[in-house]
A and B are shown apart, each in its own frame.
Chain A
Amino acid sequence: MSTHAATAGTLAAPGARRTLSSVVLGRFVRHRPAVVSVVLIVLLGGGAVFAERLSPRDPVYIDMGHKFARPLTRGHLLGADELGRDVLSRLLHAGRVSLAVGLAAMAVTVLIGAVVGAVAGYRGGLVDTLLLRLTDAMLSFPPIFMLLALAAFVRPSLASMTVIIGVTSWMDVTRMVRSQILTLREREFVLGARALGAPASRILARHLFPNTVGIIAVAATLAVARAILLESYISFLGYGIQPPFASWGNMLNNAQSYFATAPWVAIFPGVMITVAVTSFNFLGDGLRDALDPRHARSRA
């Protein structure tokens, strides 16, 4: 993975580059849940990318003759829902929505978080104090409350969900990047660059940022997990992706009313969310252990 190589490169002397990255990779491979998670993520991602070809039916095709068809009957591997739509086809297409929102929201989260954290950490003083209080204020709102308040007032779309989740999730990244920059700022190579007259922008871009790639990679992975989970909450509550288009969250909208007749409609989407979120969380865990052996030792 490129993140390993990048981090390893910044830490190691040029000659030791290959060895260190292979050490990091070796540590990652030893984290078994993380390896399993990579496999699961590849499978989920593949299902989403090739949803069109893998789906046995059109995910929005209504067929009342097949209403509540049981799993493994009439060509429905995972059954059909209240409108006779194929659950498997809907799950595959919903995976597109959930993973796309997860990845895109992660990008927004990391972008805002890294910039705010870097500015606060590097500038210090009043700027730092103000940004820190802003971060605290944002963290005081229970996430779902803030998300719903925002989501209810905009027309729901992939883009709006992405932005809303991004602007309410950047605070953890900010804190991690800020504290990393704070410790790096006082190191000799930064002092050296400053003494040579390098402008702040160059010091940030060339000397500080590359050294935060590791923690950003970890934070990004955890941000994907969080975004997928949050998207499912908003969609479940009816303010996210709108029917007939499927997201794992909105497939559970009315599931409760059909428990007696069709429990599969409620079971499968939840399993997908849980598998996806758990996988990204474990991946982040494995990355953290691989990139920071001290953490692995104290944790494991």
Chain B
Amino acid sequence: MRAYLARRVVQALVVLVLVSLGGFTVLHLAPGGPVAIYAMSPTMSAEDMERLTRQLGLDQPLHVQYAKWAGGLVTANWGRSYRDGRVVLEVIADRIPATLVLMLSAFTVAVVLGLTTGIVSAVRQYSIFDHAMTLGAMVALSIPTFWLGLMGIYVFAELLRVLPPGNIGTIGAPFALADRLRHLLLPAATLGVVMVATWSRYTRASMLEVIGEDYIRTARAKGVSRGAIVLKHALKNALIPLVTLAGLQLPLVFSGALVTETVFTWPGMGRLFVDSIGYRDYPVLMGILLLTATLVVVGTLAADLVYAAIDPRVRHA
């Protein structure tokens, strides 16, 4: 187990270095650059532009800029936003709670619905329910998230007028849990749809595999009741491979969150990213890219390690 752990951690570190190098290079080779937005400004002279470039360190060679920036990462100095001069980590940290609330709610919805439909699909294989779920899962995976959000707003905010069309809470109103929940419902459901299909499919496949095993037949032969077989014998073992799914889904969930936040004007990290692109705000963009990629790498690693701890067969594969 220790050798496996060491190998996986080294792999993850290599990936993280590649991630930071790749992201940094791409953003810095891009035409325009952070000073370009001032080019249109009538109050900026050519000398001002040059001075600004020097001040931001953009005139130095790329590898020097990277070394300086990467050195800062280790000491928790991720630079300052080009837009308003605030510390990058603070700017991002401000947005994390909103994104976290959204993602966790969607995750809960997806796991509860996904497991239930997946189990029923597997137990009643080839039933009308199973076929409907197969079709539904494929459509759910194919619907553009932003359009699903738009349709949600149209139906529930515009036609029925039962839910607010966006934002994290009523503007100007003091904090109230009921108000927050009402605002959370549509975005969480939208993001949940992205995930629920995958959870349902994986649960179904995993359950079907376990149901075919010999020990299930033995339990059946012993006269164990159907419900006990499904829930106690099959589900317990079927859940093991699903542990990795939470980690594997992270990139998709982050992408979905970005789009959902944009549609619902949800003040999270995804919207910060979209806004920062408009301002060519490199430090914030790099900060978010690095943070999300790190979470994905760590999430995958954690999922693999948990899996290996539960199921010893994996370590030796």
Q: What residues make up the interface of A, taking CB atoms closer than 8 Å to B?
A: 33, 133-134, 136-146, 148-150, 152-154, 225, 229, 232-233, 236-237, 239, 249, 252, 255-256, 259-260, 263, 266-267, 269-270, 273-274, 277-278, 281-282, 285, 298-300
Contacts and interface: CB of A to CB of B under 8 A. Distances in A.
B274 A148 contact: yes
B19 A141 contact: yes
Contacts of A137: 15, 18-19, 22, 293
B153 A256 contact: yes
Nearest to A300: B126
A285 B292 CA distance: 30
B146 A136 contact: no
B262 interface: yes
B138 A278 contact: yes
A233 B263 CA distance: 11
Contacts of A273: 143-144, 147
25 contacts: A133-B15, A136-B11, A137-B19, A140-B251, A140-B293, A140-B294, A141-B251, A142-B296, A143-B255, A148-B258, A149-B26, A150-B26, A150-B30, A225-B142, A229-B144, A236-B144, A237-B259, A252-B146, A259-B153, A270-B143, A273-B144, A274-B139, A274-B142, A281-B141, A281-B142
A263 B154 CA distance: 8
A285 B23 contact: no
B252 interface: yes
A285 B138 contact: yes
Interface string B134-160: 010011011111111011011000100
Given A274-B144, A277-B142, A141 B23 contact: yes
A62 B156 CA distance: 32
B259 A274 contact: no
B27 interface: yes
Contact of B158 (A143, A260, A285): A260
Residue of B147, B251, B252, B274 with most chain A CB atoms under a 10 A cut-off: B147
Contacts of A282: 138
Contact of A141 (B138, B142, B146, B289): B289
B70 to A, nearest CB: 15
A233 B257 CA distance: 13
A33 B135 contact: yes
A98 B27 CA distance: 26
A142 B251 contact: yes
B277 A149 contact: yes
A37 B30 CA distance: 40
Given A133-B11, A145-B273, A153-B31, A252 B18 contact: no
Contacts of A260: 158
Residue of B146, B254, B258 with most chain A CB atoms under a 10 A cut-off: B146
Q: Is the interface of B mostly helix, strand, loop or mixed?
A: helix
A278 B141 CA distance: 8
B67 interface: no
Q: Which 9 A-B residue pairings sit nearest by Cβ, starting from the closest?
A: A153-B30, A270-B147, A142-B254, A137-B18, A277-B142, A144-B255, A278-B142, A140-B293, A152-B277
Contacts of A285: 138
Interface of B: 11, 14-15, 18-19, 22-23, 26-27, 30-32, 126, 135, 138-139, 141-148, 150-151, 153-154, 158, 205, 208-209, 250-252, 254-255, 258-259, 262-263, 273-274, 277-278, 280, 285, 288-289, 292-294, 296-297, 300
A252 B27 CA distance: 28
Contacts of A143: 251-252, 255
B66 to A, nearest CB: 15
A149 B146 CA distance: 18
Contact of A252 (B139, B150, B205, B292): B150
A239 B154 CA distance: 24
Contact of A233 (B11, B135, B146): B146
A90 B273 CA distance: 30
Contacts of B126: 300
A175 to B, nearest CB: 13
A49 B277 CA distance: 35
B292 to A, nearest CB: 5
A298 B277 CA distance: 45
Given A232-B146, A263-B158, A270-B151, 9 more contacts: A142-B258, A148-B274, A153-B31, A249-B144, A255-B150, A256-B263, A270-B148, A277-B142, A298-B205
A41 to B, nearest CB: 13
A148 B251 contact: no
B138 A145 contact: no
Nearest to B146: A236
B14 A133 contact: yes
Given A33-B138, A142-B251, A145-B258, A233 B288 contact: no
Contacts of B205: 298-299
A145 B259 CA distance: 10
Contacts of B273: 145, 148
A150 B29 CA distance: 10
A167 to B, nearest CB: 10
